[in-house]
């Protein structure tokens, strides 16, 4: 019997800014399946840092949807909005290493300067930052800047020359994946008015919660390069990564809250059962007459 320390720790970490859809169901179910298979723990984390878009009502609805799917998480939920001091400590650490600088540029200025310099885009599609404020190094009171940016060149110089992560996909075969954090350029790691950005919060939380297996959608594959760099800079442990397939909508695009993805609650109201959803997503044998057809990437 594995002792407590060796038990793998999985987490499902939705952003409660809308109702859960089939993409969330797939992620939650595959985390639960893995935790069960390997005798692991299953945590629920609410990534609710964006206070303007995340609502307690969505959190409650997500909990209800997950229970309806038949999933049981450990009862204590970590809400990112309740832990600003944990993220603040990470920012102080990066700042003490001289790796952050304040940025005053407006989005439109960045777009123009980045295009003029022919810099291209980061993996999320944002224009790479041209370094305007890095060159200025303006001393400004805390909070006056629009953002704190990572000095990528300095950060890379502090990290091992080659960075990797352990990638398993949905299987059990491990592959060493080379990280490419430079692709993110001088990314904004903190924005005015927000306790943290996703990238900082996720590495801090995974470490504090003892997550051993970060199982999440392939849409976050490229972000893992940046997460590995942050883990090195902040001396945080790196979990195993298991990037899973994505559920596609009718147009063959990734499901997202903004697109025309049917929320689970609507399917439920239309008479679709949790068993139908499990079957459609491949977690139970398909019935002779499936109620739902789903495509995975």
From candidates 8, 9, 13, 71, binder to ligand GLU by CB under 6 A? 13
Name the minimum Å distance from CB 82 to ligand GLU. Answer: 16
For the beta carbon of residue 297, count every other beta carbon within 10 angstroms. Answer: 13
Residues shown for the chain = 297
Contact set for ligand GLU, span 203-222 (CB under 6 A): 216, 220
Nearer to ligand GLU, 202 or 238 (CB): 202
Q: Is 18 in the site for ligand GLU (CB under 6 A)?
A: no
In the complex, minimum distance from the CB of residue 164 to ligand GLU, in angstroms, rounded to a whole number? 18
Q: Smallest gap, in angstroms, from Cβ of residue 214 to ligand GLU? A: 6
The region of 7-15, 31-39, 112-120, 132-140 touching ligand GLU under the rule CB under 6 A is 7-15
> Rounded to an integer, what distance in angstroms lies between the CA atom of residue 163 and that of residue 179?
5
Task: Give the residue closest to ligand GLU by C-beta.
Answer: 216
Tokens for 265, please give them: 């609650």
CB atoms within 10 A of CB 178: 10
The residues with which 175 forms a beta bridge, in sequence order, are 167
Question: Does the protein bind ligand GLU through residue 14 (CB under 6 A)?
Answer: yes
CA dihedral for 147, 51, 261, 280, sign (positive or negative): positive
Task: Report d(CA 213, CA 11) in Å as an integer.
Answer: 8
Does residue 81 sit in helix, strand or coil? Answer: helix
Residue 80's closest CA among 14, 9, 143, 148?
14
| CB of residue 220 to ligand GLU, shortest distance in Å | 6
Pairing of strands 100-103, 147-150: antiparallel
Region binding ligand GLU by CB under 6 A among candidate stretches 11-19, 67-75, 100-108, 288-296: 11-19
Site for ligand GLU in 242-271 (CB under 6 A): none
Q: Nearer to ligand GLU by C-beta: 31 or 114?
A: 31
Q: Among the candidate windows 9-17, 104-112, 233-241, 271-279, which touches ligand GLU by CB under 6 A?
A: 9-17
């Amino acid at each position: 019997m594995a002792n407590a320390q060796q038990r793998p720790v999985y987490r499902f970490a939705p952003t409660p800014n809308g109702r859960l859809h089939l993409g969330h169901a797939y992620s939650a179910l595959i985390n639960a399946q893995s935790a069960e298979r390997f005798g692991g723990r299953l945590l629920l984390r609410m990534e609710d840092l964006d206070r303007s878009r995340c609502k307690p009502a969505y959190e409650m609805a997500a909990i209800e949807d997950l229970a309806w799917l038949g999933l049981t998480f450990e009862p204590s939920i970590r809400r990112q909005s309740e832990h600003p001091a944990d993220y603040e400590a990470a920012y102080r650490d990066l700042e003490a290493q001289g790796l952050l600088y304040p940025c005053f540029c407006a989005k439109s200025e960045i777009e123009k300067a980045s295009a003029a310099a022919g810099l291209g885009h980061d993996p999320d599609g944002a224009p790479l930052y041209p370094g305007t404020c890095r060159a200025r190094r303006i001393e400004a009171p805390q909070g006056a800047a629009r953002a704190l940016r990572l000095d990528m060149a300095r950060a890379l110089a502090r990290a091992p020359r080659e960075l990797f992560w352990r990638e398993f996909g949905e299987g059990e075969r491990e592959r060493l994946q080379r990280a490419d954090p430079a692709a993110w350029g001088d990314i904004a790691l903190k924005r005015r008015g927000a306790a943290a950005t996703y990238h900082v919060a996720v590495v801090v939380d995974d470490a504090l919660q003892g997550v051993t297996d970060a199982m999440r959608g392939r849409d976050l594959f490229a972000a893992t390069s940046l997460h590995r760099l942050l883990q090195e800079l902040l001396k945080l442990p790196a979990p195993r990564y298991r990037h899973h397939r994505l559920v596609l909508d009718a147009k063959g695009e990734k499901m997202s809250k903004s697109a025309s993805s049917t929320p689970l609650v609507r399917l439920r109201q239309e008479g679709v059962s949790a068993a139908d959803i499990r079957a459609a997503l491949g977690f139970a044998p398909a019935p002779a007459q499936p109620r739902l057809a789903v495509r995975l990437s």
